[in-house]
Amino acid sequence: MKADALRGHLDALLLATLDGRQLHGYAIIEALQQRSGGALDLPTGTVYPALRRLERAGYVSSAWSTVGGRQRRTYRLTQSGMETLRSERRAWREFTSAIEGVLEGKIIPTQAPAQP
């Protein structure tokens, strides 16, 4: 899969990969590969800067731990990260529904905007 196809979705993919677990960077890359059937084979130069950005934003936290006898930085979702992931999942469902409607020639009923 081309990197351009992921533009704008990488943060959501990383947050989803960390949902309910704590992983080190390479384990995140492996999980993305497994969950995507090998379609997502992201280089470390893409994943680690994104993880640092998510940490600065307060969506993930990290800590050093020993994994397999090696010191590794492990990441987990914060409360803010969990809320952001819920929002990203909702936005993704809306987006894919709209695109599917266009590509498949379906008419999707208009929904009233959510009340604040």
For every one of its 116 residues, what pLDDT tens digit does the chain have, with 9 covering 90 and above? 655 667 789 999 999 999 999 999 999 999 999 999 999 988 899 999 999 999 999 999 999 988 788 899 999 999 999 999 999 999 999 988 999 999 998 887 776 666 65
Q: What pLDDT score was predicted for residue 6? A: 74
Q: What pLDDT score was predicted for residue 20? A: 94
Q: Where are the beta strands (DSSP E) in the chain?
A: 23-24, 60-67, 70-77
Q: What pLDDT score was predicted for residue 71? A: 92
Tokens, residue 103: 């590509």
**Amino acid present at 67:** V
Q: What pLDDT score was predicted for residue 65? A: 85
Phi first, then psi, for residue 96 (nearest 5°) are -65, -35
37 DSSP 8-state letter: T
Edge-to-edge strands, sheet with 23-24: 23-24, 70-77, 60-67
Which residues face 71 on adjacent strands? 66
Which residues face 72 on adjacent strands? 65
